[in-house]
Amino acid sequence: MSPEQDDANDMQARFSAFSARTAGISARPGFSDRVMARLQREPASGLLELRLPAWRLLPVGVLAAALALVWAASASSDVNEALAVGYDDVELQW
Amino acid sequence: MDNLGEAVQRVRSGDTAAFQRIVAATSSKLVRLGARMLGNVSDAEDVVQEAYVKAYRALISGEFDGRANVTTWLYRIVTNQAIDAMRGRARRPKPTDTADESATDLASAEQHLALAELSDWMSELPPDQRAALVLKAVEGLTSPEIAEILQCSEGAVEQRLVRARTALRRRSETQ
């Protein structure tokens, strides 16, 4: 066997030993709970939860917007009438 | 598709709790992979936790379609996170004491000693070579599997492995 092959075999044997010595490593107790708690703080999931009620509220929102528009138009019309100048009452002066 | 496919589909349809099944089934091997790359369990858990967050986001957004093997996909995310962590660590000064607080019993102490020795042996390697070597020589994956995880060609994997082994051999000769 060549010295290069010896080297390669030695190296692989050393890696195999590391693999065996570290085979028992796993996540510490509570890790899974920590991950799930972290996911609960994810803005993406919160956003998703907010979307469904938001869709349900959409028709109410549209109705409220329409009523607001009607009220604004009517209020604007009242103001215009109050401010309107009766042209027939104004005498032109030269 | 592996047997986590059903859990993946449930998470994709909005069932967050189903993700716990994925975590329970994969966390041990992912933390072990991270620890072998980074040299300690604490950093590995941080990396794996962030990897799970990324995976969850990808599932929710539909980025991961569920057709690929879930474990291989998670291996890819953890490996990328670990490579980023190694690069970040290279830019920061090394802490004086990297001992893990969880090394409470003898078996655990031996595992942490082995991690420290492995990390020290590979400390001079660039992160991508270190990752390829851990996946091949310690995790026992094949070159096609490593190419899928590292998202490169098999030739590129072999090149990284040859360079890494050459660097380790040179290091042994100089010591």
At residue B151, the 3 state secondary structure works out as coil
Of A22, A27, A34, the CB nearest to B28: A27
CB contact under 8 A, B114 and A22: yes
Distance, in Å, from the CA atom of A5 to the CA atom of A11, rounded to the nearest integer, reads 10
Please report the pLDDT score of residue B48 as a whole number.
Answer: 97
Lowest-pLDDT range, B5-19, B38-52, B81-95? Answer: B81-95
Half-sphere exposure of A44 (CA within 13 A, CB side): 16
Top pLDDT among B111 and A47 is at B111
B58 part of contact set with chain A, CB < 8 Å = no
Distance, in Å, from the CA atom of B20 to the CA atom of B41, rounded to the nearest integer, reads 20
Of A14, A23, A44, the CB nearest to B60: A44
Q: Which of B138, B166, B172 to mutate to test the interface with A (most CBs of A within 10 A)?
A: B138
SS3 content of chain A, % helix, strand, coil (to 5): 80, 0, 20
- pLDDT tens digits, residue range A37-59? 999 887 654 445 445 556 667 88
Please report the pLDDT score of residue B58 as a whole number.
Answer: 93
Q: Which of A2, A18, A32, A36 to mutate to test the interface with B (most CBs of B within 10 A)?
A: A18
Question: For chain A, what is the mean pLDDT?
Answer: 79
Of B57, B115, B121, the CB nearest to A44: B57
Distance, in Å, from the CA atom of A36 to the CA atom of A16, rounded to the nearest integer, reads 34
At residue B20, the 3 state secondary structure works out as helix
Closest-CA residue of chain B to A19: B138
Contacts of B111 in chain A (CB under 8 A): 21-22, 24-25
pLDDT at B2 over 80: no
Spatial contact of B163 and B124, defined as CB atoms under 8 Å apart: no
